[in-house]
């Protein structure tokens, strides 16, 4: 009974939109988003026949895997560094949080201008340092634009990882390390036999969250390249947005939302199993 208000709120803001979107993917919709008629799996089959969709989906997966891997590695390294005892640690820890503290759209805009080949700081720097006299137009070519977007996404995601790992590391008692040291374990052995096993739950949770955020990272891509040049930096969520709000094709957008939901759900369940197996 006491949970009723909370459940009601959940129903209104979580279940209703989710279920309505799921149902929508089985309907043909008009441009106002009203259901016109039931088409069963028709929306699915026409979406699956669209080559762009598969390219975008594959790119989303690649984007997520690479970005999360980089964020995890960098975050782990930073977490370990921040866990050491040295002067000015507090200041460094604060500085690490800055990318996280900046509002994402503003950070993305600053990066967009940084990458700008005419006015951007990056190319100015490359030219001034004599590294190259003809620096690339980063956002003008598909490959460089993809990696530019990815860099920004990673840059934004590192602080969370670093802080999560730092918290995990701080929870590991010093006694284990001392005992291991007495037994003659070197630093690599201490890392792989003490740090990693203890960090395992934190790594699982942090990467799971990161996967969801990265897979759905709309802000960075939409602001920096809008999915361009051509469609070459679109991931599923930006493509979905265009389909729904630019082309007013709500049926296929719903299907894409459905697929995103399923992909992330399956992924989360697999992860949860992994997590609870140990716990």
Partner 1 sequence: MMKSKWVVLLAALCLVFALAVSASAKTKLRVVWMDYDARFNTVYQTMEQDFEKENPDIDVETIILPWNEGHDRLVTWIAGRQAPDIANTGTRWVLEFNDMGVLEPLDKWLSPEFIKGFYPGALEARIKGKLYGLPVAMSARTLFYRSDLISKPPATWSELVKVAQDVTSKHKIYGIGLSGKKFVELTEFVYYLYGNGGSFFEMEPDGSYGKAKFNDKAGVEALQFMVDLVHKYKVTEPNVTENDRGSLQDLFIAGKLAMVETGPWFAAMLQERAPNLKWGVAPMPHNDGKPQSTLMVTDSIVMFKSSKNKEAAVKYLNFIYRDKYRLEFNKAFGMLPVRASVGAMSYFQTPYYKVYIDQLPRAKGWPLMSEWSKVEDVLWDAVGAALLKIKSPKQALDEAAKEVDAYRKK
* Beta-ladder partners of 35: 29
- The backbone torsions φ and ψ at residue 35, rounded to the nearest 5 degrees and listed phi first, read -75, 130
Binder of partner 1 out of 42, 77, 201, 228 (CB under 8 A): 228
**Quick one: DSSP state of residue 28?**
E
* Beta-ladder partners of 63: none
Binder of partner 1 out of 21, 83, 116, 268 (CB under 8 A): 116
- Closer by beta carbon to partner 1, 86 or else 119: 119
Binder of partner 1 out of 16, 62, 247, 276 (CB under 8 A): 247
- Closer by beta carbon to partner 1, 99 or else 229: 229
Contact between residue 176 and residue 199 where contact means Cβ atoms under 8 Å apart: no
Pairing of strands 35-38, 27-29: antiparallel
State how far the Cα of 169 lies from the Cα of 167, in Å rounded to an integer. 5
ω into 229 cis (within 30 of 0): yes
**Interaction between residue 104 and partner 1 (CB under 8 A):** no
- Closer by beta carbon to partner 1, 200 or else 242: 242
Binder of partner 1 out of 102, 213, 249, 271 (CB under 8 A): 249
Residues between 29 and 88 that touch partner 1 (CB under 8 A): 30-32
**Quick one: DSSP state of residue 231?**
T
Q: Minimum distance from CB of 5 to partner 1 (Å)?
A: 29
Q: Minimum distance from CB of 208 to partner 1 (Å)?
A: 33
């Amino acid at each position: 009974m006491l949970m009723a208000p909370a459940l009601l709120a959940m129903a209104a803001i979580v279940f209703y939109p989710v279920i309505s979107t799921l149902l929508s993917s089985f309907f043909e919709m008009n441009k106002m988003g009203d259901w016109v008629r039931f088409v069963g799996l028709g929306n699915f089959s026409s979406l699956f026949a669209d080559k762009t969709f598969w390219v975008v989906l594959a790119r989303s997966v690649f984007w997520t895997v690479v970005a999360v891997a980089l964020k995890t590695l960098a975050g782990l390294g930073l977490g370990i560094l921040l866990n050491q005892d040295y002067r000015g640690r507090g200041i460094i820890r604060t500085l690490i949080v800055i990318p996280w503290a900046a509002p994402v759209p503003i950070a993305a805009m600053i990066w967009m201008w940084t990458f700008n080949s005419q006015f951007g700081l990056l190319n100015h720097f490359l030219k001034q340092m004599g590294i190259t006299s003809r620096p690339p137009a980063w956002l003008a070519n598909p490959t460089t634009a993809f990696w530019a977007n990815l860099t920004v996404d990673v840059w934004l995601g590192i602080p969370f990882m670093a802080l999560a790992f730092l918290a995990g590391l701080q929870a590991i008692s010093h006694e284990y390390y001392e005992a291991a040291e007495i037994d003659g374990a070197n630093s690599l052995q201490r890392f792989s036999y003490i740090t990693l096993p203890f960090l395992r739950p934190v790594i699982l949770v942090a990467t799971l969250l990161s996967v969801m955020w990265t897979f759905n990272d709309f802000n960075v891509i939409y602001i920096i390249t809008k999915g361009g040049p051509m469609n070459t930096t679109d991931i599923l969520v930006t493509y979905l947005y265009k389909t729904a709000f630019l082309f007013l094709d709500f049926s296929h957008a719903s299907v894409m939302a459905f697929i995103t939901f399923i992909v992330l759900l399956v992924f989360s369940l697999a992860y949860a199993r992994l997590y609870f197996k140990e716990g």
